[in-house]
Amino acid sequence: MHFTMIRTSLTILLMTALFACTGATEKNQKPGQPSRIIFLIGDGMGLSAVSTGYYFGDLTSQFDRFKHIGLINTSSATHKITDSAASGTALATGTKTYNGAIGLDTARTVLRNITEVVSEMGWNTGVVATSAVTHATPAAFYAHVEHRNMEEQIAVQLLDSEIDFFAGGGKRFFNQRRDGLDLFRTAEEKGIIIDTTGLSSIAPEPGRKYGFVLAGVGMPTMLEGRGGFLPEATSLAIEALSAGDNNFFLMVEGSQIDWAGHDNDEAYLLAEMRDFENAVRVALDFAEKDGNTLVVVSADHETGGVTLAARPGEMGGSDYNDILITFSTGGHSATLIPVFAFGPGADHFTGIYQHTEIFHRMLQTAGLAEQIPGENTPD
């Protein structure tokens, strides 16, 4: 922690004390400012992946429910085509960095992320993923390490972070570690309620922390029978984080949309997209009822160069009534990525802009622009 960070923390501490003195509740947002933010990231989800809901399955799409839509450029500080670590860091901290970085800038300086910023204002925070909870995307929302593959260190940082709810895979980074530590015991010593068997029905208590670590590394794929984990964990997270009528920030990742793209596997892609849409449905249903919740859905980059082209006809030519999902790469692509927003402040997310803007716009809409740390906005 360098000096400016200490100074920022002190300012925030003083401001928090000020709010307490004036008798303001946790909900210090003005009308039109969200007091809850749910950010859903479809890892590797480009516009073709989003479009699949309109051509496959029951032909309904949760994306119909959004009225405010934008586009982001996701290039990293070092590459036109980003990886999930650099783009996750950009989304979580508002700063572009090098491919592979988690929560650090190109000079290896620690960047404060959105969960750290809103925690200082009394908000609860959570991360849910279908990868390991220590994988690049969720890690960018609480950790600071030089490379995404340092998952044992990332697990230590998760338990030291302000995160109040986490769910996903990654047991081996907690209890099969090179240093021999059992981080599940460490977690329990810290008062975090850990479940490694399933999303137990908890009656969430305000101020309690919960961790669900349910697979060795990544969660099973939908085709292997993951079932309702992602929408159910989203629902449980909302319940736990809003306990005591608290403000909260929740990041939910459909991690395996990316893995399906890397595998060039259309059945896998369709199954992961439908599952992700079910999590989007849970978030939107809550936001509709709550009225103070901003829902933002986007991606860190596109994976697979997915195309919804016509299937080649038997007599030559193409059958324009039959869509064949095809891929142009086993890696990521540079296409602009859609942003969908719903709820108070949603109108801030239209236009074409850099992925770093999402961090800034989320905090601005919540009236927390002054809390954005100076080191996160290099000129």
User: Does the footprint of Mg ion cover residue 264 (CB under 5 A)?
Assistant: no
Question: 7 in helix, strand or coil?
Answer: helix
Stretch near Mg ion under the rule CB under 5 A, chosen from 104-112, 137-145, 183-191, 224-232: 137-145
Closest CA to 142 of 110, 175, 176: 110
Q: Which is nearer to Zn ion, 28 or 303 (CB)?
A: 303
187 within 8 A of 211, measured Cβ to Cβ: yes
The answer to whether the Cα torsion of 248, 349, 295, 304 is positive or negative is negative
Q: Which is nearer to Zn ion, 75 or 303 (CB)?
A: 303
To Mg ion, the closest distance from the beta carbon of 300 in angstroms equals 7
Residues 6+ away with beta carbon under 8 Å from 311: 318, 319, 322, 323, 324
Site string for Mg ion, 99-128 (x = CB under 5 A): ------------------------------
As a dihedral over the C-alpha atoms of residue 346, residue 279, residue 90, residue 161, rounded to 10 degrees, the angle is 110
To Zn ion, the closest distance from the beta carbon of 303 in angstroms equals 5
For the sheet containing 165-169, what is the strand order? 192-195, 209-213, 165-169, 124-132, 248-254, 36-42, 293-298, 337-342, 68-73, 351-354
Q: Which is nearer to Zn ion, 242 or 303 (CB)?
A: 303
Catalytic-role residue among 35, 48, 75, 84: 84
Stretch near Zn ion under the rule CB under 5 A, chosen from 53-61, 205-213, 301-309, 358-366: 301-309
CA distances from 12 to 7, 120, 304, 366, 373 (A): 9, 7, 43, 16, 10
To Mg ion, the closest distance from the beta carbon of 172 in angstroms equals 17
User: Does the footprint of Mg ion cover residue 277 (CB under 5 A)?
Assistant: no
As a dihedral over the C-alpha atoms of residue 39, residue 198, residue 192, residue 8, rounded to 10 degrees, the angle is -10
To Mg ion, the closest distance from the beta carbon of 253 in angstroms equals 6
Stretch near Zn ion under the rule CB under 5 A, chosen from 116-124, 252-260, 309-317, 320-328: 252-260
To Zn ion, the closest distance from the beta carbon of 355 in angstroms equals 15
CA 146/CA 180 separation, integer angstroms: 22
Question: 312 in helix, strand or coil?
Answer: strand
User: Does the footprint of Zn ion cover residue 265 (CB under 5 A)?
Assistant: no
Strand partners, 312: 318
Buried b (16+ CB within 10 A) or exposed e, 152-169: bbbbbbbbebbbbbbbbb
CA 13/CA 25 separation, integer angstroms: 16
Number of residue whose CB is nearest Mg ion: 137
Return the residue of 116, 253, 258, 300 that touches Zn ion, per CB under 5 A: 258
Known catalytic residue: 84? yes
Stretch near Zn ion under the rule CB under 5 A, chosen from 11-19, 117-125, 137-145, 295-303: 295-303
Closest CA to 244 of 24, 27, 12, 23: 27
Site string for Zn ion, 205-234 (x = CB under 5 A): ------------------------------
To Mg ion, the closest distance from the beta carbon of 353 in angstroms equals 21
User: Does the footprint of Mg ion cover residue 130 (CB under 5 A)?
Assistant: no
115 binds, among Mg ion, Zn ion, none (CB under 5 to 8 A by kind): none
To Zn ion, the closest distance from the beta carbon of 312 in angstroms equals 28
CA 262/CA 304 separation, integer angstroms: 6
221 within 8 A of 261, measured Cβ to Cβ: no
137 binds, among Mg ion, Zn ion, none (CB under 5 to 8 A by kind): Mg ion
Tell which positions 29-68 bind Mg ion, by CB under 5 A: 43
Return the residue of 61, 84, 89, 365 that touches Mg ion, per CB under 5 A: 84
Q: Which is nearer to Zn ion, 161 or 303 (CB)?
A: 303
Footprint of Mg ion (CB under 5 A)? 43, 84, 137, 255
Q: Active-site residues: which are they?
A: 84
Footprint of Zn ion (CB under 5 A)? 258, 303
